[in-house]
Chains A and B, each alone.
Chain A
Amino acid sequence: MSQGTIAPPQAEAQSQPPGRGLRTKRQSAAGRRKLHQREVRGAWTLLSPYMVLLLIGGIIPIFYAVYTALQRPATPVQPEGGFGGISSFVTVFSDFRFWQTFGNIFSVLIVWLPIMMLGIVGLALLVHASPGRFGNTMRFLYYIPGALAGIANLVLWVYLLNPAQSPIAGLWNVMGLDTIKAVVATDGNLPFILAGMLFFQGIGTWIVVVNGGLNGIPDEVLEAASIDGANAWHTAWHVKLPIIRPWIGYAALMNLAYGFQLFLEPQLLDQVSSNALPDQTTPTQLGYAFAFSNYNFPAAAAMSLILLVITLGIGLLIVFRSGLFGEEEK
């Protein structure tokens, strides 16, 4: 899988599709075929390092996970394991935590996604409406929190969430929360805290992406709108928003897929709040627990495959429906 990177909606050349360039008529059909064979061989030679890595990092683990999921877990009584059919899926689905973890993800998504989308689109429009140095400076400042990825963002939030020394200790005091454990574990707080963390680390780069989409709008279109008497609001609402709809859909789906794999944040918030949170808040944590607490590899593989199917579905939607990836992959 991608090492945590998403593609920008990309500018694309107006160059011709491969192979449709100059071909002299003197070439015979046989000669052309020979040339083409050379081209094919060259292509696969050049692709081979990537193909090897694709096999190691993508294809083989998927097939091996399918194989593992169909095994029986090794137990002290039956250390051999062996074919277990769909029993590992039964184990996963009947685990009391299974639906809970997805419920937890939904409660985070419901809080986070709307704020995230509103923030991305709103701030990208504001930046776009601010040409020159001011807009560029603001875009850069919005990007900075995104540089604190993963664990660094978490430590920053530990600093913010701990009433003992937080710059927003006042807020926690007003809410009657005086320890980080109380802040994190008080009922109903977690979705908002996770939403804040995800918003903080994700917003900046998405502003840049959507801003890139806005910069693709031809000046003539915006000029025409303003000649027709549209003010800034009208232009943003009736002209810019419809044009960047593919980027908005793209951002929404990518963030949705991201939400399903949450792991680090709940795992470490649990650690800093003296295990006051459920040990398995999210599906990925549950899969991790199957593998590393229960040593039930078949169930861990089954859990991974379930998450894989969900994110694969979202991924297919992005590639086919977002309208950003052209026709070549259809």
Chain B
Amino acid sequence: MSLVKAKPQKRAKTAHQEALAGPVGSNQMSVGRVARVATMLFVAAIFIVPIIGFVAMAFRDQDEVAAGEGGILGLGGVSWDNVVYSWSQVNGFGPGEGGLFLQWVGNSLFVAVIGAILAVVAAIPAGYALARLRFRFRRTVLFVTLLAMVMPNTVLVIPLFLEVNAIGASGELWPVAVIMGFFPFGVYLAYIHFMTTMPQELVEAARIDGLSEIGIFFQVATPISKQAVALVTFFAFVANWTNYFLPLALLSSVQGNKTISIGLQELIGASPLFNPTVAAGLNVKLYMPQLALATFLSMIPLLIVFIGAQRFLMRGQTVGAVKG
């Protein structure tokens, strides 16, 4: 095992940082320091300003947007009345009374939650077995897991569609949830968790106490796996919620079974901004404020799980992870 060693994140003020602050013992602003702070603030502004403008857009009125009113980033034109109106348009999308938006959100919740539960149920015991038990092909399983983890998840979507289509289940939600349950990154997280928090001696001691292998997992390993469960749940839910290509290939055929990620695409396609002919046949009008509101609303579940998982994320077990 020669992975990089963990190191506590606490960083006392070291000589190197003092050197950055200029001559030792002085707080003078050096040119380098000013340049560093200015660069970082500039980049932060580039990242944040569009997002502020975009969120403001969800609170604006289309007529004002079209007329270019509303001041800087449209912040002058925000109001709750606009949101109420925009919501009536977003919610009105669909046959009859509409309501497709909420149905799509419900579908997303279904596949993302079931997928995350399956991922946890599979990943925690698998990670424990890979970290603390000896068996043939252990390295093979680990290797396959790592490989599956670093490859983009879209490359298998069409083969997965062919598989699901072969059993006649395309357009149904449950295959999507099951496929989302395959989450190698979660297995890797659980593996690292048991490697770092559960000493081999604990397993040996439990064996001497006469516990079965399964008993050790449930009575010794599971009680200390809260951190791993939280992280796997969080990363799996986020990946499932934002997954676009898999639901597109598997669910597009049934309008009512779409998830919100492909639903948003449909809203864009129904906007008079981009598709006047389609939009003309609708009794709702989806301009930029409505699209921004729909996007903003579709992110709220992510925000909630992020807040819920925050204290586990900050604990430093993961250095970081990237969605793709």
User: Which A residues have a C-beta under 8 Å from some C-beta of B?
Assistant: 1-23, 35-36, 38-47, 49-54, 56-58, 60-62, 64-65, 68, 123, 126-127, 129-131, 134, 138, 141-142, 144-152, 155-156, 158-160, 162, 164-165, 167, 180, 200, 202, 204-206, 208-209, 211-213, 215-216, 218-219, 222-223, 225-227, 230-233, 235, 254, 257-258, 260-261, 263-264, 268, 271-274, 284, 287-288, 291-292, 297, 300-301, 303-304, 307-308, 311-312, 314-316, 318-319, 324-330
Please state if A158 and B299 are interface contacts (CB–CB under 8 Å). no
Closest to B271 in A: A272
Bound CA span A39–B74, Å: 64
Complex interface: chain A residues within 8 A of B156 (CB): 1, 57-58, 61-62, 304, 308
- Given A162-B273, A316-B147, A46 and B217 touching (CB < 8 A)? yes
User: Which B residues have a C-beta under 8 Å from some C-beta of A?
Assistant: 1-7, 9, 11-20, 32, 36-37, 39-41, 43-44, 47-51, 53-54, 57, 65-66, 68, 73-74, 115, 118-119, 121-123, 125-126, 128-136, 138-139, 141-144, 146-163, 166, 178-185, 187-189, 192, 195-197, 199-201, 203-205, 207-208, 212-214, 216-217, 235-236, 238-240, 242-245, 249, 252, 261-262, 264-265, 268-269, 273-275, 288, 291-292, 295, 298-299, 302, 306, 317-324
B55 to chain A minimum Cβ distance, whole angstroms, is 10
Bound CA span A6–B239, Å: 11
Bound CA span A304–B288, Å: 35
Complex interface: chain B residues within 8 A of A273 (CB): 274
Please state if B322 and A209 are interface contacts (CB–CB under 8 Å). yes
Bound CA span A226–B40, Å: 23
Please state if A318 and B150 are interface contacts (CB–CB under 8 Å). yes
Bound CA span A283–B17, Å: 47
Please state if B1 and A328 are interface contacts (CB–CB under 8 Å). yes
Query: Which of B2, B264, B274, B275 touches A151 (beta carbons < 8 Å)?
Result: B264
- Given A148-B51, A232-B32, A205 and B323 touching (CB < 8 A)? yes
Complex interface: chain A residues within 8 A of B138 (CB): 18, 43
Please state if B51 and A45 are interface contacts (CB–CB under 8 Å). no
Complex interface: chain B residues within 8 A of A235 (CB): 16, 19
Please state if A324 and B4 are interface contacts (CB–CB under 8 Å). yes
Please state if B320 and A57 are interface contacts (CB–CB under 8 Å). no
Please state if B201 and A21 are interface contacts (CB–CB under 8 Å). yes
Bound CA span A311–B154, Å: 11
Task: With A2-B183, A284-B155 given, name 15 new contacts (CB 8 A).
Answer: A2-B150, A11-B317, A42-B217, A57-B156, A61-B160, A126-B36, A142-B43, A145-B47, A158-B291, A160-B50, A200-B47, A205-B320, A209-B319, A223-B14, A223-B15
Closest to B303 in A: A147
Please state if A223 and B16 are interface contacts (CB–CB under 8 Å). yes
Task: Across the A-B interface, give the 7 residue pairs with the lowest CB-CB distance, nearest first.
Answer: A42-B213, A57-B182, A12-B3, A212-B319, A11-B6, A208-B320, A61-B159
B40 to chain A minimum Cβ distance, whole angstroms, is 5
Closest to B183 in A: A3
Complex interface: chain A residues within 8 A of B201 (CB): 21-22
Q: Count A-B contacts at CB 8 Å.
A: 460
Please state if B195 and A12 are interface contacts (CB–CB under 8 Å). yes
Closest to B131 in A: A18
Please state if A131 and B13 are interface contacts (CB–CB under 8 Å). yes
Bound CA span A137–B47, Å: 13
Please state if A328 and B151 are interface contacts (CB–CB under 8 Å). no
Bound CA span A171–B16, Å: 41
Most A-side CB within 10 Å, residue of B7, B17, B197, B261: B17
Bound CA span A96–B110, Å: 41
Please state if B318 and A13 are interface contacts (CB–CB under 8 Å). no
Query: Which of B204, B235, B295 touches A21 (beta carbons < 8 Å)?
Result: B204
- Given A53-B178, A155-B291, A43 and B151 touching (CB < 8 A)? no
Please state if B261 and A150 are interface contacts (CB–CB under 8 Å). yes
Complex interface: chain A residues within 8 A of B115 (CB): 3
Please state if A213 and B154 are interface contacts (CB–CB under 8 Å). no
Question: 25 pairs across A/B with beta carbons < 8 Å?
Answer: A10-B188, A15-B1, A36-B134, A47-B141, A54-B182, A65-B158, A68-B162, A131-B11, A134-B37, A146-B323, A149-B238, A152-B242, A155-B268, A156-B295, A158-B291, A211-B320, A212-B319, A219-B11, A223-B14, A231-B19, A254-B322, A284-B245, A292-B252, A311-B152, A312-B147
Closest to A52 in B: B122
